[in-house]
Structure 1
């Protein structure tokens, strides 16, 4: 059985959850004898495929960022995907994002669509008016032979927003790619006592409400910090907020690679995940793998994925966030209990399992 993927996510992402998902999926499928995979790609800067073992391509101007770079990549990559589609030398097609360009070249071949979340639908005000991802997604959801949702929560949202037939959707969980190296020392000057916040600080990630919730805790303990990993430098608006809360010197930001990230998880007092919405929540598994106590929102997919491995709070309440943080910071036994339960919970998730379940879906389309 041969599965054809496409260029989309490896054209647009250097780092990111979706390209990592396809990298891990195809890597695992490659280990089985039953499946041949192909990713048509001519140029890319994607980090995960950089060793060129999965696909040979040209790493073009990887250290330069300029306007129109993605358009140039698309100019080369899209026709190459179209060429492979036209040749029809595959059994199942699995696009890596929502551009429906391929529909006219598919013939009668089945295609599988992975839906990661419904952020465009739930938080439409966050996206520019000319963003057509939601319309494209809706079209492909209608046309797909099978849909993979990465959580029961995402499946429920698909049914709610698009009216999708439940029998068409299969839930396949993701895995974890982050494991701390023993005795690694980064040589980065970092605070001794800190809570960790990971990734984007955009609207639905709920950073502002989180920081307001913990401000009084930071004010009472000047040796306690919040470390923001990734998400870019603080904006002027964020700096103003931190100044007004009198915690500007206790909230720091770092851009980190995976190895450094694992070290920051491992050494944090706790990882706080106050997101208002997640399709899955990969950082949940990362914190489990690194032995970091998890505090997270009690909404969307997070309770489904974290199970009993987290201390939960209401992400819409600063008071609830504050109380949960205090409870965990002041209780060493609770922190140790969360770490232990996190390691146990992690055993339910792996990329090998993701690949096995996806393979079953591919096969079901050929019988």
Structure 2
């Protein structure tokens, strides 16, 4: 059985959850006897595939940005994919995102579509009116032989929003790629006592309501801080909000690679995940792996993934956020209990399990 993966996400992402997902899948699936795969990629600056174990792609203009750069990469990679599709030397095609450019070139070969979330459908107002993601996704959902949903929550959303046939959807959970290293010295000056926020902070990630909820906790304890890992430097509006709340000097932002992120998880009082919606929530598994107590929203896919290894709050309520976080930072035994439960919950998820379940789905299509 041979799987052909397309280059979409590796063209557009240097870092990101989706390209990490396909990197992990391809690295694991080539270890399975009787299964092979190709990634029709010529140009990419994606971090995860930089070792070039599966492809011989070239890295181009890594430190130079110019208008049309990624569109050029996209054109070249799609042209190569058209050649691979024309050869028909594969059994199943698996696109990495929602561009339907390949449909006219598939012949009679089936394709599998992974749906990561329904953010564009649930939070459409945050995207430009020219965004075609929903239109493209809906078309591919309709035409795919099988659909992988990365959580039961995402599957439910697919059924509710697109009226997708339930029997067509298979839930396959993701795995974890962040693991702590002992005795690392990052030469970073970070607070001893901090709440951790990871990743993007805009819109449905709910950073502003979170920071409003914890502002009184910070003002009542000068030794308590918030560390934001990744997500870019604070915007002017964020700095204004922090200043108005009187906590500007207690909230820090750091850029982070995997090693730095693991360090932040390992040393935090708690990881706070206040998102209003997630298709899966990989940071949950990252926090479990690093022994970090988790407090998060009690909605969307988060309870499905975290189980009993988290304290939950209402992400629309400042009071609920504040009270739940206050409870966890003042109860060492509760934090220890959550860490132990997190290790146990993590056993339910691995990239090998994700890959094995994906292989079974592929084989089921070919029977």
Which TM-score bucket, shorter chain as reference?
over 0.9
Cα offset for 1:175?
A: 0.2
Tell me the distance in 2 between the aligned counterparts of 1:322 and 1:308.
Answer: 20
Tell me the distance in 1 between the aligned counterparts of 2:185 and 2:294.
Answer: 23
Tell me the distance in 2 between the aligned counterparts of 1:263 and 1:69.
Answer: 34
User: Deviations for 1:113-151, whole angstroms, at most 9, x for unmatched residues?
Assistant: 000000000000010000001100000000000000000
Structure 1 position 293 matched with structure 2 position 293: yes
Structure 2 counterpart SS, 1:155 = helix
Within a 5 Å distance, the mapping from 1:263-274 to structure 2 comes to 263-274=263-274
TM-score by length of 1: 0.99
Tell me the distance in 1 between the aligned counterparts of 2:65 and 2:278.
Answer: 29
How many residue pairs match? The answer is 367
Within a 5 Å distance, the mapping from 1:194-273 to structure 2 comes to 194-273=194-273
RMSD across aligned C-alpha pairs, in angstroms? Answer: 0.6
Q: Which residue of 1 aligns with 2:349?
A: 349
Within a 5 Å distance, the mapping from 1:34-113 to structure 2 comes to 34-113=34-113
Structure 2 counterpart SS, 1:253 = strand
Tell me the distance in 1 between the aligned counterparts of 2:359 and 2:56.
Answer: 24
User: Deviations for 1:208-241, whole angstroms, at most 9, x for unmatched residues?
Assistant: 0000000000000111110011111111000000
Tell me the distance in 1 between the aligned counterparts of 2:278 and 2:56.
Answer: 33
Structure 2 counterpart SS, 1:44 = coil
TM-score by length of 2: 0.99
Tell me the distance in 2 between the aligned counterparts of 1:130 and 1:166.
Answer: 30
Structure 2 counterpart SS, 1:147 = strand
Q: Which residue of 1 aligns with 2:30?
A: 30
Structure 2 counterpart SS, 1:4 = strand
In the alignment, structure 1 segments of 5+ residues that lack a partner are none
Structure 1 position 132 matched with structure 2 position 126: no
Cα offset for 1:185?
A: 1.4
User: Deviations for 1:245-300, whole angstroms, at most 9, x for unmatched residues?
Assistant: 00001011011000010000000000000000000000000000000000000000
